[in-house]
Structure formats: C-alpha cells, structure tokens
Amino acid sequence: MKRLVLAVMAVGMMVAGAVQSAEALNNPGGIGGLESLRGGIELETTRAADPMKRYPRDQGTIDSDYVYQPPLIPHTIRNYEVSLNANKCLACHSWKNANEMGATKISVTHYQSPRKGQVLSDVSPSRYFCLQCHVPQADAKPLVENNFQRVDALR
C-alpha cells in the first residue's frame, strides 16, 4: 500500500514538473514578462556583464550641471589604488605633487575639517576616498528616465 502511494505521488510530481516546464517555455524566466534593470532575466541566472564604459581621452572635462559639483574625472582610473595603504590619486593631485605631474591641485576644501571648517595640514579624512564624490566621465545613458536640468546659472 505504502509503495503504491509513493508511486502515485512520484507520477504526480512528474506530471506537475512537465506542466511547469511547459509554462516556463511560454514564460521564459518565470518573471511574468516583467523587465527590470537587469533585463528580462531571473535573479538566479547570471547574465553577461555589461561592456566596460569607454573613457575617451580627448573629450576634455564635461561641464558641471550644478554649482559645487565634484568635477568629473577626465581620465581612466583603472588600477588606481585608493586604500588604507596608498592613494594613487594623491600621487598626482596632492599639493605636493600636482605641479610636477601637471595635474589640477585638489582645492583647499579637501583640507578642511568637515565639522568646523578648520584647514588641516593634510587631506581631510573625509576627502580621502576620492571616488565617493568624483566619478570618471563617460557618455553613459541614464538607466531610468531622467529629466534633470542644469541649474540656470550654468546654462
């Protein structure tokens, strides 16, 4: 009797499985036809990574869209380490090295303590991780619709 029940259950499961896979064919990904930023792909499916953005060298710095915007980085930053042990950006942009490297000096705000505005003798810890604020510029399409407009003063 027990065996019979098991056999019936097994057949039942197979039938259910077949129905399910037929469903999966009609509805690939089983995501109800919804498409997210990852595309129409189920979470557990690893999709190919997006191609790397190109950072053209000759485009100059893209203008700011608002006042006090951290300027975009007009060069590639591949393999530039910024960690506890090293800060590659400062090798060119610190006040000590900027002239020699022909790079823009970080401005004095990068030496100010964020709380009281005192000017410190070295880069403020709050400005150490450059990429928190500065990003390399690329002609990247917005991921979602965006109708942000440049502030009037900079138009």
The annotation places the binding site for heme c at 75, 89, 92-93, 110, 130, 133-134
Can residue 137 be called a binding residue for ligand HEC (CB under 6 A)?
A: no
30 contacts 22 by C-beta, under 8 angstroms: no
For the bound state, the minimum distance from the C-beta of residue 58 to ligand HEC, rounded and expressed in Å, comes to: 10
End-to-end alpha carbon distance in the chain: 83
Can residue 138 be called a binding residue for ligand HEC (CB under 6 A)?
A: no
Please classify residue 110 by burial: count the beta carbons closer than 10 Å to its beta carbon, then call 0-12 exposed, 13-18 middle and 19+ buried.
buried
For the bound state, the minimum distance from the C-beta of residue 22 to ligand HEC, rounded and expressed in Å, comes to: 52
For the bound state, the minimum distance from the C-beta of residue 116 to ligand HEC, rounded and expressed in Å, comes to: 16
Residues 6+ apart with CB under 8 A from 155: 149
**Window 16-75: residues binding ligand HEC (CB under 6 A):** 61, 68, 70-71, 73-75
Query: Whole-angstrom Cα distance, residue 8 to residue 12?
Result: 6
Which positions touch ligand HEC (CB under 6 A)? 61, 68, 70-71, 73-75, 77, 80, 82, 87-93, 101-104, 106-107, 109-110, 123, 127-134
